[in-house]
Structure 1
């Protein structure tokens, strides 16, 4: 009994240490956003400044179009998340429940695209976006991200865990394959959908390389690209930059905290093998 208690105590201490290491950079950025510019780089470093300077959060909006960056990112993330959830769940349902020739082979080929680095497809995608006149538009970021091999794989794994009896009962009642997908599988796939949605949202929200390649005008920039422009060539207002960084991270933290229980369930269920 004593050995079990010692083991649990050591485990919790290790988890607390890991959590503190992960939280510290974000906590430092929050406190830095409330410092005077002269207090950002001091030796020895000070976690808190002499007084809280909330003016930095006003400075970030007056010097740069921060709200434009935020709204652009929000729009792109919302569109990509909704459409990728739709396409991934539909493709996952087809590969998991429908029977047709070469199904497993097609799924294997589709899954094989996961091993292709994004840098390999970047140049062909760039020429396609240029050909269709989508350079310096949000369409260049949205269109290539509407489908996902990983999302299809995740949804397929979840759909294989749903009992076949539900599907057979729906067929007896005259339900079409799309009706079965929409009325039965989608409502039952909430954990997997939330899990995939969080992955998509974080990946799209934090994307820097694609906006850097396709966007050039300030009014179309996303948060990641906009924050990089806030660093000057000779001087940078680090306090204002940390204020902008703090605001840009908050939506991701809020979404994860609200959906963490469903997220954990989705991760667990999506890895099970069904009949």
Structure 2
């Protein structure tokens, strides 16, 4: 009897979650549908979820071969996302290694001080960062954005929690064989940290790709715009053409959807391991 009630409860919960999932997916489904339609059919009522007349090629050409250099914005976003992701993974992993496996005076205090900075909203540091970038001559450059984006307290904490679960016997054995700290870090620690490295890489890539605030403030040249800013330029030429705007939006999110679908298991596994161990 108890087993039957449990199965019914799980079935009802699954059905409810499925219904909520469909509701949350409606805007995405509408965007995909609108991206393949002619403009006159976008606002038709009732909604034609499956277009009767397809204009996918026309909308695609308007986005990728029109007056707005969409391919340039795509390249800029890819450049920023890849470079920030790689540098963040390197710096955060090295910092986490130092805070977990190296013994030095004040280690706990420094790590606690570092964590205390997490309570400071990013918006509170906009003016100091703006002045600093102007002083360094990095304002209106991709280099400035990369320098600001390569350091992450959150990812350092996440990787530190994961590395704390790696037993020190591995390090002691390597030291007895004459391995230095860099060799231990590169050949022993990093291979064991693949789940959390994958998690950090995926999340950082998504955050950078979706970043709107920093490029808006620290970039002036339209040729340097990432896709989050570049897509706004479509409003000038296609303000009333929702089909083209939806095709641009769909093109912008495709890399994120593909990455998340393929690697979502690594994200969930890495966060759960980094959050409960150590």
Q: Which runs of 5+ in 1 are unaligned?
A: none
**Structure 1 length-normalised TM:** 0.95
User: Equivalent residue for 1:50?
Assistant: 52
Structure 2: distance between partners of 1:147 and 1:261: 25
User: Equivalent residue for 2:111?
Assistant: 107
Q: Deviations over 1:59-79 (max 9, x none)?
A: 012131000000000000000
User: Equivalent residue for 1:5?
Assistant: 7
User: Equivalent residue for 2:242?
Assistant: 238
User: Equivalent residue for 1:265?
Assistant: 269
Give the direction of change, closer, same or farther, for the CA distance of 1:252–1:233 in structure 2 (3 Å limit): closer
Structure 2: distance between partners of 1:264 and 1:254: 16
Whether the aligned pair in 1 keeps the contact of 2:238 and 2:245 (CA below 8 Å) is: no
Structure 1: distance between partners of 2:203 and 2:27: 22
Count matched residues.
274
Q: Deviations over 1:71-117 (max 9, x none)?
A: 00000000000000000000011111111111011001111111111
**Structure 2 length-normalised TM:** 0.94
Structure 1: distance between partners of 2:246 and 2:237: 17
Match status 1:204 vs 2:221:
no
Deviation at 1:270, TM superposition (A): 0.6
Whether the aligned pair in 2 keeps the contact of 1:227 and 1:244 (CA below 8 Å) is: yes
Deviation at 1:21, TM superposition (A): 2.5
What RMSD, in angstroms, separates the aligned Cα atoms of the two structures?
Answer: 1.5
Structure 1: distance between partners of 2:43 and 2:121: 39
Out of 56, 65, 90, which is 2:69 matched to? 65
Q: Secondary structure at the match of 1:114?
A: helix
Q: Which runs of 5+ in 2 are unaligned?
A: none
Deviation at 1:179, TM superposition (A): 1.2
Deviation at 1:16, TM superposition (A): 1.1
Match status 1:24 vs 2:26:
yes
Q: Deviations over 1:110-164 (max 9, x none)?
A: 1111111111111111111112222222112111011100010000000011112
Whether the aligned pair in 2 keeps the contact of 1:230 and 1:236 (CA below 8 Å) is: no
Equivalent residues in 2 for 1:165-176, closer than 5 Å: 165-176=169-180
Structure 2: distance between partners of 1:5 and 1:90: 47
Equivalent residues in 2 for 1:211-250, closer than 5 Å: 211-232=215-236, 235-250=239-254
Structure 1: distance between partners of 2:240 and 2:72: 20
Give the direction of change, closer, same or farther, for the CA distance of 1:252–1:116 in structure 2 (3 Å limit): same
Whether the aligned pair in 2 keeps the contact of 1:33 and 1:240 (CA below 8 Å) is: yes
Equivalent residues in 2 for 1:183-194, closer than 5 Å: 183-194=187-198
User: Equivalent residue for 1:149?
Assistant: 153
User: Equivalent residue for 2:166?
Assistant: 162
